[in-house]
């Protein structure tokens, strides 16, 4: 361990004294110092904080990734510069040298991540303290931004029995005569399953649609919050209508709570812009003792002096309606988000180091940056390739490209799957399980595998360059 740490110390010293880290710190200071001032035109402190967190964490992610790739270049520079000749003439196994390099890069990146994280936290708190004293804004900041909330989707009723009833009804009424084989009385199992699925989807769609003057009660389970009036929970939803009214405003009534189960009932009148997410805070005593919450939406305009439109409301998916309740603090959430960023940096450090074990600095740098871009865009690229259409003219080409990308994205992790910035910004919980998953996938499996591969490649490499 002594030798590994000696190499790690040297790598950290290089990063610091070659002013690589200094440039990074200057960038971060620029962001931390400048961003809050540029956000003063934001309409509320909570929005300003959300924007600040989004930009600062996003910027930190990119800058630290670049720094990590750049720090890893030291190995290939040592080969070119000849320092490796003295190092490898010393009694240090090559795997320890690679491990030491990795440890040094990760140590420096971690220090900078912790410092930057502390800076982001400090600036966030300063923005809260120096913000305008608006009670509503303050409550929103506290309950919807600087918190860690768990989200529960709406419980969808089981439409299986109803779907089977409708299917049988149609079958008996001769609705499938055209597709039934001659003499048969039943559809084949695949067709039947497809038909049942269609019925279920239709029923669910119907359930998610609320016609004018109708109401729909949505139920949420496992709302594990403190059921007191001084605590709040949030209902988050995005309403759509079949046909937009001229003012693009939906007016409706909400009833939250279920007196039949011993809770308070809160009546809320809403004017909401259609097609956008909205969040309503309600006291937590609307939750029943069995941890369920009832929310009834009535498609009726409660504002009699305002224009009336016959809107048909629908939710395009059940993600468009959820209940959020606090389960942790902003500090814990930020810590978990930073931990997840660290997992990505560890993985990236291993990959960048592996490339320097094989390639010279410019090539290794380019390969690592390409890898970083692909890992960051993996989700988008996977979707793009899945729906890739070449017009049918080159089927073989399409298959080949899709095959190639499948292999590529088997090897390249999707970094967006381990990014909790969007959740953190919206005060949603970055779960510990998520962090542990990142730790398992990116560090225990990914990093270990890549560092081992780097060790093997470096062991086989002749560290002295041909000179004669």
**Residue found by looking up tokens 């320097």 in the block:** 356
Residue 83 touching another protein (CB under 8 A): yes
Q: Judged by CB under 8 A, does residue 17 bind another protein? A: yes
Q: Name 15's Cβ contacts closer than 8 Å, sequence gap at least 6.
A: 21, 71, 104, 105, 108
Looking at the Cβ atoms of 19 and 217, the one nearer to another protein is 19
Helix residue ranges per DSSP H, 39-152 = 45-72, 74-81, 83-88, 94-130, 135-140
- Which region among 11-19, 185-193, 285-293, 399-407 touches another protein (by CB under 8 A)? 11-19
40-48 contacts, C-beta under 8 A, 24 or more apart: 44/134, 44/137, 44/140, 44/141, 45/127, 45/128, 45/131, 45/132, 45/134, 45/137, 45/138, 45/141, 46/137, 46/140, 46/141, 46/144, 46/145, 48/127, 48/131
CA-CA distance, 109 to 60, in Å (whole number)? Answer: 11
> Per-residue string for binding with another protein, 313-332, x by CB under 8 A?
--------------------
Q: Which is nearer to another protein, 82 or 307 (CB)?
A: 82
- In the complex, the smallest distance separating the C-beta of residue 373 from another protein, rounded to whole angstroms, is 28
Does residue 6 belong to the site contacting another protein (CB under 8 A)? yes
Q: Is 44 exposed, middle or buried (0-12, 13-18, 19+ CB in 10 A)?
A: middle
Q: Which one, 359 or 409, has the nearer CB to another protein? A: 359
80, 335 Cβ separation under 8 angstroms: no
463 binds another protein (CB under 8 A): yes
3-state secondary structure at position 426: coil
Separation of alpha carbons 272 and 274, rounded Å? 6
The Cα 22–Cα 48 span in angstroms is 28
- 78 in Cβ contact with 84 (< 8 Å): yes
Options 66, 92, 187, 456; binder of another protein; rule CB under 8 A: 92
Residue-by-residue DSSP string for 134-177: -HHHHHHIIIIISEEEEEEEPPPP--HHHHHHHHHHHHHTTTTT
Q: How far apart are CA 139 and CA 125, in angstroms?
A: 15
Among 23, 29, 62, 81, contact with another protein (rule: CB under 8 A): 81
Q: Of 9, 216, 270, 278, which one interacts with another protein (CB under 8 A)?
A: 9
Closest approach, Cβ 8 to another protein, in A, equals 11
Residue whose tokens read 């439409």: 159
Q: Which is nearer to another protein, 189 or 467 (CB)?
A: 467
CA distance 224 to 454: 47
Angle of helix 2-17 relative to helix 20-38, nearest 10 degrees, comes to 60
Question: Total residues at the site for another protein (CB under 8 A)?
Answer: 29
Q: Which of 121, 125, 15 is nearest to 60 (CA)?
A: 121
Query: Toward another protein, which CB reaches closer, 190 or 468?
Result: 468
Residue 457 touching another protein (CB under 8 A) = no
Stretch that binds another protein, among 8-16, 163-171, 307-315, 404-412 (CB under 8 A): 8-16
Residue in 90, 135, 410, 411 binding another protein, rule: CB under 8 A? 90
Choices 14-22, 193-201, 206-214, 444-452 (CB under 8 A): range interacting with another protein = 14-22
- The site string for another protein over 361-380 (x = CB under 8 A, - otherwise) reads --------------------
d(CA 78, CA 357): 11
Residue nearer to another protein on the CB measure, 91 or 246: 91
CB closer to another protein, 139 vs 464: 464
User: What b-and-e string marks burial along 95-116, b requiring 16 or more CB atoms within 10 Å of the CB?
Assistant: bbbbbbbbbbbbbbbeebbeeb
Least Å distance, CB 344 to another protein, is: 28
Which segment (6-14, 367-375, 407-415, 437-445) binds another protein by CB under 8 A? 6-14
Kindly state the smallest distance separating residue 19's Cβ from another protein, in Å: 10
Nearer to another protein, 17 or 170 (CB): 17
Q: How far is the CB of 353 from another protein (least distance, A)?
A: 18
Q: Which of these, 315, 310, 311, 309, lies nearest to 295 by C-alpha position?
A: 315
Question: Closer to another protein at the Cβ: 185 or 467?
Answer: 467
Contact between 456 and another protein by CB under 8 A: the answer reads no
Q: Does residue 86 belong to the site contacting another protein (CB under 8 A)?
A: yes
Report if residue 93 touches another protein, rule: CB under 8 A.
yes
CB 79, min distance to another protein, A: 10
Q: Is 401 in the site for another protein (CB under 8 A)?
A: no
Q: Does 3 bind another protein (CB under 8 A)?
A: yes
Torsion of the alpha carbons at 5, 9, 14 and 19, rounded to the nearest 10: 130
Does the protein bind another protein through residue 467 (CB under 8 A)?
yes
Return the range that interacts with another protein (CB under 8 A); candidates 79-87, 224-232, 260-268, 426-434. 79-87
* Site residues for another protein per CB under 8 A: 2-3, 5-6, 9-10, 13-14, 17-18, 81-93, 462-464, 466-468
């Amino acid at each position: 361990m002594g030798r590994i740490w000696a190499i790690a110390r040297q790598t950290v010293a290089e990063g610091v004294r070659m002013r690589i880290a200094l440039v990074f710190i200057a960038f971060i200071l620029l962001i931390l110092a400048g961003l809050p001032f540029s956000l003063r035109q934001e309409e509320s402190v909570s929005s300003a904080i959300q924007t600040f967190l989004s930009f600062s964490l996003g910027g930190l992610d990119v800058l630290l990734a670049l720094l990590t790739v750049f720090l890893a270049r030291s190995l290939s520079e040592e080969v070119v510069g000849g320092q490796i000749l003295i190092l490898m003439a010393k009694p240090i196994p090559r795997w320890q040298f690679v491990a030491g390099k990795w440890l040094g890069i990760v140590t420096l990146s971690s220090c900078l991540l912790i410092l930057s994280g502390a800076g982001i936290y400090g600036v966030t708190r300063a923005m809260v303290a120096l913000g305008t004293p608006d009670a509503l804004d303050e409550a929103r900041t506290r309950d919807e931004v600087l918190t860690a909330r768990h989200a529960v989707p709406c419980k969808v009723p089981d439409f299986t029995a109803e779907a089977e009833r409708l299917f049988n009804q149609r079958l008996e009424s001769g609705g499938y005569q055209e597709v039934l084989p001659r003499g048969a009385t039943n559809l084949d199992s695949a067709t039947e399953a497809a038909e049942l699925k269609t019925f279920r989807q239709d029923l669910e769609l119907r359930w998610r649609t609320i016609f004018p003057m109708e109401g729909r009660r949505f139920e949420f389970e496992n709302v594990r919050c403190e059921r007191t009036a001084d605590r709040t929970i949030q209902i988050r939803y995005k309403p759509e209508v079949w046909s937009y009214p001229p003012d693009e405003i939906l007016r409706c009534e909400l009833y939250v709570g279920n007196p039949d189960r011993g809770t308070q009932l809160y009546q809320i009148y809403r004017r909401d812009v259609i097609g956008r997410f909205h969040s309503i805070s309600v006291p937590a005593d609307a939750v029943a003792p069995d941890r369920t919450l009832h929310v009834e939406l009535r498609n009726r305009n409660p504002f009699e002096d305002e224009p009336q439109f016959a809107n048909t409301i629908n939710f395009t998916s059940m993600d468009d309606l959820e209940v959020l309740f606090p389960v942790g603090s902003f500090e814990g959430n930020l810590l978990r988000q930073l931990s997840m960023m660290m997992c990505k940096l560890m993985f990236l450090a291993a990959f960048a180091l592996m490339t320097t074990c094989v390639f010279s600095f410019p090539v290794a740098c380019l390969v690592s940056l390409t890898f970083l871009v692909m890992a960051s865009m993996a989700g988008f690229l996977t979707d793009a390739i899945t729906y890739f259409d070449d017009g049918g003219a080159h089927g073989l080409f399409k298959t080949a490209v899709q095959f190639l990308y499948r292999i590529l994205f088997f090897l390249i992790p999707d970094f967006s799957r381990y990014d909790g910035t969007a959740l953190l910004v919206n005060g949603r919980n970055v779960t510990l399980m998520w962090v542990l998953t990142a730790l398992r996938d990116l560090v225990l499996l990914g990093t270990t595998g890549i560092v081992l591969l780097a060790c093997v490649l470096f062991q086989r490499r002749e560290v002295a360059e041909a000179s004669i």
